[in-house]
Amino acid sequence: MMGIEQCISEHGVLLRLLKLISNDTAAARLDKLSLAHQQMVEIAKALSLNARLIIMDEPTSSLTLSETKRLLELVRELCQQGVSTIYISHRLGEISECADRVIVLRDGKNAGELGREEATHDRLVNLMVGRDIKSVHVPSTASRTAGFFKVRNVSSSLYPDKSVSFDAARGEILGFAGLVGAGRSEMAKAIAGLDASPGKTIFLDGKNISINTPRDAIEHGICLAPENRRTEGLVMEMSICENVSLPSLRAHSRCGLIQRKRERETAREQSSSLNVKAPGIESRVMNLSGGNQQKVVLGKWLARNPRVMILDEPTRGIDVGAKAEIYRLMRALAGQGAVILMISSDMEEILNVSDRVAVMHEGEITGMLERTDCTEENVMQLAVGRKIPVAKPAFVE
């Protein structure tokens, strides 16, 4: 078996990939690393085995654009060295860039096979969902209330000496972009009371609210759909019904006893409105696809009619059909007057779905981009800490 040091010496691209993990985390337990760093370690482990065939299942789901480019370079390098790769991804641009042949699966069956030149975005989407999907961006028609949600001086355990402040309008989808490790997920957890941030101040609809625990956030209508749905967003061994009602047990209880009929009615309503594909609401969420699991996460919060919905990587690892449904749901929720904060490492998603984009770098917002200024180049400039003329302040006092 080839050791990791030898593997690194033979794969220059891998060396650059591993350098994204700092020396400080080299001896850390894997469960203490971010999802992106865990994914890099997993890729490095596979390459260290000197394999002749490598199966990569959603290898870039936690990686940023620059990290993804490095990984695709590695795939091409492996191909030149005679190593075969089966590359599974819902990111169609990656498939078109690295695949020699493409096999499309739909509902567990082979929906078709395309050669490299045939694998255009539209052909792939059509085979995946059985129909054409139009552009995901829908201009906002909601009546906006500027400054409806104000966040001031939110710090996190990752960057305790830095803080985040911003304003979000009612009816707006505010995207948060940045490189892995920029502190976006930690900011979301601090807002939702999952991470200590003693100096933070939050205003909702003009009122100063106190959030010290997740229960405080939920009671004020601030809900978080976390980055890792399997370990943080769902109880995998429980049913759809039980997961949907979990944050709302008080509303489904009387004298300390859960009213099962009311619980099932809520679960059926959310499953139907979100088009959750499952044999029934008693199905365990561990048996659902990633897209349907994410719908259950959203369903349990939608049942509470949130005023602020924080979505951390809402479409990671799900197919384009489910993505389009979640985008429509986000826009509908914003249209009803909610604030949507969307954290995403998918550049296409950030650019297509957001009304404005806040870009973070090392625990701070480096700039706010209006819709007309949301370009890949502008986002990446701010993501690496550079100032650009079109960037606006994150808030106005």
Q: Please give the mean pLDDT across all residues of the chain.
A: 84
Position 9 scores a pLDDT of 45
Position 287 scores a pLDDT of 94
Q: How are beta strands 253-254 and 222-225 bridged, if at all? A: unpaired
Residue 61 pLDDT more than 90? Answer: no
3-state helix, strand, coil in the chain (%, to 5): 40, 20, 40
Give 207-235 pLDDT, tens digit per residue: 999 999 999 999 999 999 998 888 899 99
Position 64 scores a pLDDT of 66
Position 119 scores a pLDDT of 83
Position 366 scores a pLDDT of 94
Which amino acid makes up residue 363? Answer: G
Please give the average per-residue pLDDT across 82-107, as a whole number.
84
- State the Cα–Cα distance between residues 229 and 283, nearest whole angstrom: 17
Residue 290 pLDDT more than 90? Answer: no
Element (H, E) at 379: helix 376-383
Q: What is the domain partition of the chain in residue ranges?
A: 4-99, 145-383
The DSSP secondary-structure symbol of 144 reads: P
The residue that leads in pLDDT, 239 or 49, is: 239
Question: Token pair for residue 331?
Answer: 């826009």
Element (H, E) at 266: helix 260-273
- State the Cα–Cα distance between residues 167 and 396, nearest whole angstrom: 8
Please give the average per-residue pLDDT across 352-366, as a whole number.
93
Please give the average per-residue pLDDT across 83-100, as a whole number.
85
Residue 269 pLDDT more than 80? Answer: yes
- State the Cα–Cα distance between residues 323 and 326, nearest whole angstrom: 5
Position 139 scores a pLDDT of 62
- State the Cα–Cα distance between residues 245 and 85, nearest whole angstrom: 42
- Common-topology check for domains 4-99 and 145-383: yes
Please give the average per-residue pLDDT across 288-304, as a whole number.
91
Please give the average per-residue pLDDT across 133-140, as a whole number.
56
Strand partners, 225: 311
Pair 142, 171: CB distance under 8 Å:
yes
- State the Cα–Cα distance between residues 365 and 183, nearest whole angstrom: 10
* DSSP conformation letters of 339-377: EEEEE-S-HHHHHHH-SEEEEEETTEEEEEE-GGG--HH
- State the Cα–Cα distance between residues 307 and 211, nearest whole angstrom: 15
Which amino acid makes up residue 67? Answer: E
Position 384 scores a pLDDT of 80
Centroid of chain to Cα 356: 17
Question: Token pair for residue 280?
Answer: 């029934």
Question: Token pair for residue 274?
Answer: 């979100």
Least confident of 47-56, 169-178, 187-196, 323-332: 47-56
Residue 195 pLDDT more than 50? Answer: yes
Pair 73, 97: CB distance under 8 Å:
no
Max distance between CA atoms of the chain, in angstroms, equals 68
Residue 106 pLDDT more than 60? Answer: yes
According to CATH, what is the number of the domain 145-383? 3.40.50.300
Position 358 scores a pLDDT of 96
In the chain, % of residues over pLDDT 90: 41
Strand partners, 55: 86
Q: Which residue has the tokens 């399997």?
A: 230
Position 69 scores a pLDDT of 79
According to CATH, what is the number of the domain 4-99? 3.40.50.300
Position 192 scores a pLDDT of 95
CB atoms within 10 A of CB 89: 18
Position 6 scores a pLDDT of 43
Please give the average per-residue pLDDT across 321-342, as a whole number.
90
Please give the average per-residue pLDDT across 186-198, as a whole number.
92
Residue 20 pLDDT more than 80? Answer: no
Strand partners, 56: 87
